[in-house]
């Protein structure tokens, strides 16, 4: 399993909430289990108490993205380090479920968690995955969608560090909004110019009389 996969755990959890819209999808044990994806063994450990615990970890992960998005690299790293200390993992070499053409294991790095509960296991993997992404690509690759009121988290893997939105949908919506804003501004300017011209003409006509 590629280490980049683990960073998606953090994004997945953070984006269960849309604070500016007042939406929260993390309201049940089923919602917690869905976050684990194909890792059904880990998902089965989830209990009612994990809903509250997951929300707490989510707030801390969002704080990392907010610090990174705001340009405070040191704060982002410190916040992530606190999660790594609280929720440790053990890196291991694994070859499960992956075989090459000759049937030999495709060895890869795997993060083995040792959780006391489902939240601890998920938080450990999410924090470590995010740490790998941050150190590999830079703190500025952790972002929050600029298409208000979305503010979903995303990981920028573009070659020119140009990503600003969490999805194509948000990018399109932001572009349409910007286009409409420009059109309104142009219309306002045209109207103002027209009023100024009418006023000047009336002033000139009055003076000639």
181 pLDDT more than 80: no
Percent of the chain with pLDDT over 70: 83
Give pLDDT, residue 191. Answer: 67
183 pLDDT more than 80: no
Q: Which residues contact 101 (CB under 8 A, 6 or more apart)?
A: none
pLDDT average, residue stretch 110-116: 69
pTM (predicted TM-score): 0.78
Q: Please tell me the chain's helix, strand, coil percentages from 3-state DSSP, rounded to the nearest 5.
A: 60, 10, 30
205 pLDDT more than 60: no
Question: Using CA atoms, how far apart are residues 17 and 54, in angstroms rounded to an integer?
Answer: 11
114 pLDDT more than 80: no
Question: Using CA atoms, how far apart are residues 53 and 67, in angstroms rounded to an integer?
Answer: 22
Please answer whether residues 9 and 129 qualify as being in contact, where contact means their C-beta atoms are separated by less than 8 angstroms: yes
Q: How many residues does the chain have?
A: 209
Give pLDDT, residue 9. Answer: 95
Nearest to 13 by CA among 45, 50, 67: 50
Of 29 and 2, more confident: 29
87 pLDDT more than 70: yes
């Amino acid at each position: 399993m590629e280490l980049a996969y683990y960073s998606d755990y953090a994004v997945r959890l953070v984006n269960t909430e849309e604070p500016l819209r007042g939406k929260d999808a993390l309201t049940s044990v089923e919602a917690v289990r869905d976050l684990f994806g194909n890792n059904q063994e880990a998902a089965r450990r989830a209990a009612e108490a994990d809903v509250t615990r997951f929300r707490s970890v989510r707030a801390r992960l969002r704080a990392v993205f907010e610090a990174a998005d705001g340009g405070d690299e040191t704060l982002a790293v410190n916040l992530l380090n606190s999660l790594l200390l609280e929720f440790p993992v053990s890196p291991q070499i694994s070859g499960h479920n992956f075989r090459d053409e000759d049937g030999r294991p495709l060895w890869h790095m795997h993060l083995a968690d040792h959780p006391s509960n489902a939240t601890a296991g998920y938080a450990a993997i999410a924090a470590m995955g995010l740490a790998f992404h941050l150190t590999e690509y830079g703190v500025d690759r952790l972002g929050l969608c600029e298409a208000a009121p979305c503010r979903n988290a995303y990981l920028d893997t573009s070659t020119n560090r140009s990503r600003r939105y969490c999805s194509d949908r948000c990018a399109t919506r932001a572009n349409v909004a910007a286009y409409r804003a420009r059109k309104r501004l142009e219309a306002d300017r045209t109207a103002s110019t027209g009023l100024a011209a009418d006023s000047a003409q009336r002033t000139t006509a009055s003076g000639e009389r």
